[in-house]
Amino acid sequence: MTLDAFWRHEGVASASHRASLVRAASTRGLFRDPARLSARMDELEDSLWRAVGVADLDTGVVVGRFPKVLYFEPEFLVERVRLLRDLLPAVNLRRVIERNPQVLTMDMTCTLPAKMRELSVLLPRTDVIHLIETHPKILSNNVGRGVSANVAALKRLMRDVGVVEEAVEIMVAHNPRLLSSDVEGTVTSRLRALERAEAGTVARYAEKPASLARMLCASAKAVNRLRFLREVKPEVRTSAIVAVNAPRAKFDAAHPEFEKWWEENKRRLEEEEG
């Protein structure tokens, strides 16, 4: 069995993660030995269960995202997970660890509590514990600088189009990706695309911040579906949120000419947004 086949069998679904793990075999002896790797993965799963009863851990996902976790001794893992449970008593730890396994290496007596306090100050109307559960990668960001600057930039951008700060917090709570997105680049570009497609779109969704957040985090292609409908099929009065967030298969089936239109106009639209 090849190492790639081994990792696939162990549940590492991502091809890029498997490639990285296979490359690790050239410099790390552990990663050349499937028998030792299997034993380490069993220890990882067992340690989380012994710590606080975390069951059904997707070890393939965890190892794929953070291979170094296999070097941690079982007692170290038990201690880390118990400290994490103390910080996040009502959170689904399995989900947090699967999405951001690097959290196991963080300082849980100073750094993590400090980040949680900073998030509470930065987003006073937001349930920070729920935010961490749904977007655990936020714990790997520099809250005091990067996240804080992003929130300030997002509030400025939204204020200019009539969206109040309370709504901005709701946007972040429903789509935490905004905390780490390029606000001055990507998010601003999506906002401009919505307005070019149909002036006043952002203002109309100011009272529906969750929907607005979903549109601003969509791809350029998805956002420009609205432009396509207004320019090419004005008789179709689909709402902005439905146009942008419809499943791709459903939208393509209803509007098969969109793909050709996108390929013909993509460069022009990107230049407009740039």
Question: What's the chain's average pLDDT?
Answer: 91
Please return the burial class of 227, using the count of CB atoms within 10 Å of its CB with bins 0-12, 13-18 and 19+.
buried
What does the domain layout of the chain look like in residue ranges? Answer: 1-107
SS3 107: coil
Sequential DSSP letters for 63-85: HHH-GGGGGS-HHHHHHHHHHHH
Q: Tell me the pTM.
A: 0.79
Per-residue pLDDT of the chain (274 residues; tens, 9 = 90+): 799 999 999 889 899 999 999 999 888 888 999 999 999 999 999 999 999 999 999 999 999 999 999 999 999 999 999 999 999 998 999 999 999 999 999 999 999 999 999 999 999 988 999 999 989 999 998 888 888 999 999 999 999 888 888 899 999 988 888 988 899 999 999 999 999 999 999 988 988 999 999 999 999 999 999 999 999 999 988 899 999 999 999 999 999 999 999 999 988 877 776 6
